[in-house]
Amino acid sequence: MKWDVIFQPSNLALYGEGILTTLALLFSSLAIGAVLALLFALALTGRSAQLRAVVGAYTYVVRGTPLLIQVYLIYYGLGQLEWIQARWDDTWPWTYFKEPFFCALLAFSLNTAGYSAEMLAGAIRETSAGEIEAAQAYGMGHWRTMWRIILPSALRRSLPAYSNEVVMMLQSTSLASAVPSMIDVTSAASRVYSKFYLPFEAFLFAAGIYLVATFMLVGVFRLAERHFLAYLAPRQN
């Protein structure tokens, strides 16, 4: 065991760069995915059958194919099309497709949007009929009921499932190492391994980083659930 190699300043700096990239990719994809998920969930529970079919097909494809394949399709597929490459120097938005971080971010955002949309749509469908009837009794219309009653309730109830999605996305960011020139935690471990031939130390250190990050995320969501879902806890006499 040669842990002293891992703790060399240059290698720690490499892991530090990987942590920053991983966190930036995680939180950026979650933010973009949350906005898309909200729109997709509204479409999945809306009145338009055509829109439900289109969004339903999208979420089916996203959840039915591996994330790594989606990353490859965007970076090695879309990003390598001659039509896009001819425009990625001066034509927006194709200029972003030559950036590895953007391709990975796009893949992760679309992926988490598909999963989160189905979670939120399920929570919307399970909203108590009594809540909706009470809103209608107050004279609220469809959209006002959605924004003031249904969505807040659905978001609170989908929080436990969404916490699992966030943890899975954290661990899925390791797939960003498949994109060349991306330095995330996993690719940092791969570089240390290839340079010093220390696979156990390099990847075990990376696993420890993911474990600590997961522990912190779970703690944050536990606090959020305790706050937002307190009304569901059994009452103590």
pLDDT at 77 over 70: yes
CATH superfamily for 23-183 is: MetI-like (1.10.3720.10)
The residues, any chain, with a CB within 8 Å of residue 44's CB and separated by 6 or more, are 52, 55, 56, 59, 117, 118, 121
pLDDT at 80 over 90: no
- Mean pLDDT (whole number) for 67-95: 81
Model confidence at 82, pLDDT cuts 50, 70, 90, reads confident
- The rounded distance, in Å, linking the Cα atoms of 10 and 6 is 9
Residue 74 CA to chain centroid, in angstroms? Answer: 16
- The rounded distance, in Å, linking the Cα atoms of 226 and 232 is 10
pLDDT at 91 over 80: no
